[in-house]
Amino acid sequence: MPDNVLKLGIPAGSLQESTAELFQKAGYRITFSSRSYYPTIDDDEIECLLVRAQEMARYVEQGILDAGITGYDWVLETGADVEEICELVFSKVSRRPVRWVLCVPEDSPVRSVRDLEGKRIATEAVGLASNYLKQHGVRATVEFSWGATEVKPPTLADAIVEVTETGSSLRANNLRIVEEVLQSTTRFIANKQACNDGWKRNKLDNIALMLSACLAAEGKVGLMMNIKKEDLANILDVLPALQKPTVSSLSDADWCDVYTIVDEKVVRTIVPKLKSMGARGIVECPINKIIE
């Protein structure tokens, strides 16, 4: 047992697998057991605990956990006083942040939050919804919803404040988005006292560095190509290099090899251009991590 240990909360449920995958890419192997809420991790200086995303910030604030992974929405909802180490932009379905939105039935006359005076609003995030109404000077009843919130209007509620990624569940229930209440991404948060402890702060920073390196690499690839030396300058000009391109010699002395890192999403537009400018043997390779 090491002297120093970082108590780390892993979010149970929808973020659990993506969190474990991210840590695995970052070099930390987290193993879950169906019988235990204490996942193991191959770093003796870390102790993991599975905690609901909704409760994470509360336990981090209380110091029961030194740090944890959870959504910005639930940090706000609980109102917990915690330190944000870094933002982790990942999500199972898409790369977009989740959105909490105010919705009403398609045919409702409600057009703005101000039309909700005196109405009933159902939501799983009573704090978020109440604050939003207050900011806009609206008095309404906010009822906690135990689930299936999107089917409640119009019978069981006049409006809802609900989380959505793609909007498809809202459309399927004939709901219209009135306003966006909050955009939320995943965060790596820490207890404030833990941040003042030198050893823990350094540990938190190293973990954050590795997690960020993985996320930064997610949409990037290595691009390698053979270029005639006479074309080199022109082609380097159009390469959207994230770092300095590597230029190596080839067995044929008139040619050289260029390697660089680019955003995956520009590949489909830049490759036809590179080919037309004379690049040959263009090869795309995967990368795991990048620290710029």
How far is it, in rounded angstroms, from Cα 262 to Cα 278? 19
Cβ burial 125-150 (10 Å sphere, 16+ → b, else e): bbebbebbbeeeebebebeebeeebb
Query: Binders of its own copies among 26-45, rule CB under 8 A?
Result: 26-28, 31, 33, 35-37, 42
User: Are the C-beta atoms of 250 and 235 separated by less than 8 Å?
Assistant: no
User: Are the C-beta atoms of 26 and 207 separated by less than 8 Å?
Assistant: yes
Q: Among residues 177, 201, 257, 278, which is the contact residue for its own copies, using CB under 8 A?
A: 257
Q: Among residues 81, 206, 229, 238, which is the contact residue for its own copies, using CB under 8 A?
A: 206
Told to check if 5 binds its own copies by CB under 8 A, we report no
Told to check if 209 binds its own copies by CB under 8 A, we report yes
Query: Binders of its own copies among 96-155, rule CB under 8 A?
Result: 143, 145-148, 151, 155
The two three-digit tokens of residue 36, written as one number: 């235990």
Question: In DSSP terms, which residues pair with 67 in a beta bridge?
Answer: 8, 190
* Residue where the block lists tokens 């799983």: 124
Measured from the CB atom, the residue of 139 and 281 that comes closer to its own copies is 281
Q: Among residues 14, 91, 176, 255, which is the contact residue for its own copies, using CB under 8 A?
A: 255
C-alpha separations of 76 from 58, 188, 240, 264 in Å: 11, 14, 38, 34
Told to check if 210 binds its own copies by CB under 8 A, we report yes
How far is it, in rounded angstroms, from Cα 290 to Cα 214? 7
The two three-digit tokens of residue 166, written as one number: 């793609």
x/- letters, 149..188, toward its own copies (CB under 8 A): --x---xx---------x-x---x----------------
Tell me how far, at minimum, the Cβ of 127 lies from its own copies, in Å.
12
Told to check if 8 binds its own copies by CB under 8 A, we report no
Told to check if 1 binds its own copies by CB under 8 A, we report no
Measured from the CB atom, the residue of 112 and 174 that comes closer to its own copies is 174
Measured from the CB atom, the residue of 100 and 113 that comes closer to its own copies is 100
Q: Among residues 57, 69, 261, 262, which is the contact residue for its own copies, using CB under 8 A?
A: 261
Q: Which backbone phi and psi does 82 adopt, to 5 degrees?
A: -130, 165
Q: Which amino acid is at 74?
A: W
Question: In DSSP terms, which residues pair with 30 in a beta bridge?
Answer: 41
How far is it, in rounded angstroms, from Cα 10 to Cα 50? 5
Query: Binders of its own copies among 68-97, rule CB under 8 A?
Result: 93-94
Told to check if 242 binds its own copies by CB under 8 A, we report yes
Told to check if 12 binds its own copies by CB under 8 A, we report yes
